[in-house]
Chains A and B, each alone.
Chain A
Amino acid sequence: MQDKSPPSGIDDYHLIELVDVTKVFDTTVALSRMNLYVRRREFVTLLGPSGCGKSTTLRIIGGFEQPTDGKVLFEGEDITRLPPYKRRVNTVFQRYALFPHLNVFDNIAFGLTIAKVHRPEITRRVGAMLDLVGLRGMERRSVDALSGGQQQRVAIARALVNEPEVLLLDEPLGALDLRLRKDMQLELKKMQQRLGITFLYVTHDQEEALTMSDTIVVMREGRIQQIGTPKRIYDEPKNAFVAAFIGESNILDAVMIRDERVRFCEREFICVDRGFGQNKRVDVVLRPEDLTLVPAEQGMLSGVVMSVLFKGVHYEMMIDCGCGALKVHSTSMAPEGERVGLSVVPFNIHIMEKVGEACPA
């Protein structure tokens, strides 16, 4: 079921494995029978809307929550009942959870002092971390006196200094503004590649996930929807939920007539998908950038332009084709009220099983 081909540098060794993990809080099911493995040196992102169970998954791996059912394996060993302080993973918390009574240096050194590392060694390793996150010279500052971005760096350094096998990051960039977030994304990715540490990253920001990850795990309501490389997830979303969540898309009701033939908007299209059966109700995804504006009479579909927004690189137009409004991204523009045609190549028509009707993989 894990349709991922390992990118370079990742060996196929399963460092962490979740086996049938279920978590129930009082009456709500946060995770249901989750299966997942993470390979060494891999950057895995758990992606989904809030309440989808992604943070719970991370907390179970960190040891802060016990699964109701199922097992957590680390290098093949069952660590389900192991307390957090005995696990070789470290966490960067959502709001950093820095210790306000300690300065920058002591925050980063915390784990090392607990492990009774020798003082010169602590100084050396904390120093290296300060260099890594670019906070050299701020050792004696109170963490309350730092900006959000600096606090973020302290949190990362505090976790990384312990040389964990896996770094767990729970929406670490959520509290930063857009610019800083973009910079940190790149920096984190670089750090991960340089240090060769496995990252397990939680976010609800699809763009962040696409930028940084080797593998994305899309989750919804405690279930995994799709696992795959960013490209794969974007190009071939498994269902309408994934399609809607990753990037912008038009999702239409359709009927798969037979292999390579699909019908929507009262018209039959050629596509490349096979194996859905005959006359089966499906969802079709059309990415806005895959729809091409053509003269009305030449289009596979035609409709009236309802609105036009200038978005910088492209225009975003809503076009009413009779079967609902389609969002179109195009560098050329048609004025509001004009009738235009739309065309799409077969390769860009993505057929997906209906959500809910799809049996869990």
Chain B
Amino acid sequence: MAWRRLRMTYLGIVLAFLYAPIIVLIVYSFNAAETRAVWGGWSLKWYAELFHNKSIMDALSVTVSVAALATLASLALGTLAAIGMHSMRGGLSQVFVQVTNLPMMTPDIVTGISLMVLFIFAKAPRGYGTMLLAHITFDVPYVIFSVLPRLRRMNKHMYEAALDLGATPSTAMRRVIMPEIMPGMVTGALLAFTMSLDDFVISYFTSVRTANLSVLIYSMTRRKVPPTVNALSAIMFVTVLTLLLIQNLREARAGKSKPKGAGSQ
């Protein structure tokens, strides 16, 4: 029992370490004073100011829209690619897997710089468009590596069974393959979206005219950080927390209503 308490304490300490800075930010977001050095009482003024801060609001909409568009594009590109790669013969499919691995193994900074050099070479003005292209590039592998295992795990006769029962190849794709790989697509899309939201390094190199949140915050930390950023952190944290909780509640409920062993596999 003492051993158990020791373990729980340890997990608690690590959690505290992980959450401490976030909690501090949230508390400061309610600080009426301009500087962090003093506590000026509770206030919501930074939240009000946040919504009037054009650069932050612009960066926010850039971040979200780039992430959403990049996710959609990489989902289409990646799912098709995974299906294609799955039906390829050994050698070619190996080449594709290696090429897909490449951006995942390449350090972000090298990916960012090489894309920057490419865009400068192509005389493409670095802004929203180039940032989107870059995000799609690093998102697609996540979709592929989420969808491909589901395709591989699928009973290889499933597609044939659909054809056998009268489905044309496109119907079989829609009614049998798609539902089968859907969980992989969702995972891939979530990963891609998260990666996109969080990206700093690659956006930093591939866009100069448009800043996403990461780039904006970076440039702020180089100068003076306005307290509105604290408010922004708090809102983002609460949003993430809510989304994750909803997701987990849904999973827990789904897990209860379904008999064991249903769901995947």
* A interface residues (Cβ-Cβ under 8 A, vs B): 62-64, 83-85, 89-91, 93-101, 110-111, 114-115, 142, 144-145, 158-159, 162
Instruction: Kindly list chain A residues whose C-beta atoms are within 8 Å of the C-beta of B265.
Output: 100, 144
A25 to B: closest C-beta gap in Å: 12
Does B35 sit within 8 A of A, measured CB to CB?
no
Does B54 sit within 8 A of A, measured CB to CB?
no
Q: In the complex, which of the residues A85, A99, A159 contacts B176, with contact meaning CB atoms closer than 8 Å? A: A99
Kindly name the residue among A62, A63, A99 whose own CB sees the greatest number of chain B CB atoms within 10 A.
Answer: A99
Q: In the complex, which of the residues A83, A101, A144 contacts B179, with contact meaning CB atoms closer than 8 Å? A: A101
A237 to B: closest C-beta gap in Å: 33
Q: Is the CB of A84 within 8 A of B164?
A: yes
CA distance A201 to B182 in the complex (A): 34
Instruction: Kindly list chain B residues whose C-beta atoms are within 8 Å of the C-beta of A91.
Output: 160-161, 164
- Can you list, as one digit per residue, whether each of B74-115 has a CB less than 8 Å from chain A (1) or not (0)? 000000000000000000000000000000000000000000
A3 to B: closest C-beta gap in Å: 32
Q: In the complex, which of the residues B157, B171, B180 contacts A114, with contact meaning CB atoms closer than 8 Å? A: B171
B165 to A: closest C-beta gap in Å: 3
Residues A158 and B165 in contact in the complex (CB < 8 Å), given A97-B157, A101-B179, A101-B180: yes
CA distance A159 to B265 in the complex (A): 23
CA distance A211 to B171 in the complex (A): 39
Residues A85 and B160 in contact in the complex (CB < 8 Å), given A101-B179, A144-B261: no
Does B162 sit within 8 A of A, measured CB to CB?
yes
Residue of A nearest to B89 (CB): A26
- Can you list, as one digit per residue, whether each of B22-60 has a CB less than 8 Å from chain A (1) or not (0)? 000000000000000000000000000000000000000
Instruction: Kindly list chain B residues whose C-beta atoms are within 8 Å of the C-beta of A100.
Output: 180, 265
Residue of A nearest to B260 (CB): A145
CA distance A97 to B180 in the complex (A): 12
A44 to B: closest C-beta gap in Å: 19
Q: Is the CB of B163 within 8 A of A142?
A: no
Q: Is the CB of B166 within 8 A of A142?
A: no
Does B155 sit within 8 A of A, measured CB to CB?
yes
Q: In the complex, which of the residues B160, B169, B171, B258 contacts A97, with contact meaning CB atoms closer than 8 Å? A: B160
Q: Is the CB of A114 within 8 A of B166?
A: yes
B168 to A: closest C-beta gap in Å: 6
B103 to A: closest C-beta gap in Å: 31
Residue of A nearest to B183 (CB): A101
Residue of A nearest to B258 (CB): A142
Instruction: Kindly list chain A residues whose C-beta atoms are within 8 Å of the C-beta of B157.
Output: 93-95, 97
CA distance A96 to B156 in the complex (A): 11
Instruction: Kindly list chain A residues whose C-beta atoms are within 8 Å of the C-beta of B155.
Output: 93, 95-98
Residue of A nearest to B158 (CB): A97
Kindly name the residue among A85, A90, A96, A158 whose own CB sees the greatest number of chain B CB atoms within 10 A.
Answer: A85
> Can you spell out 10 A-B residue pairs with CB atoms less than 8 angstroms apart?
A83-B169, A85-B163, A85-B166, A85-B168, A89-B164, A95-B157, A97-B160, A98-B155, A99-B161, A110-B175
A140 to B: closest C-beta gap in Å: 11
A210 to B: closest C-beta gap in Å: 27
Q: Is the CB of A145 within 8 A of B163?
A: no
Q: Is the CB of B166 within 8 A of A111?
A: yes
The 6 closest A-B pairs by CB, nearest first: A111-B165, A97-B157, A84-B163, A101-B179, A97-B161, A93-B157
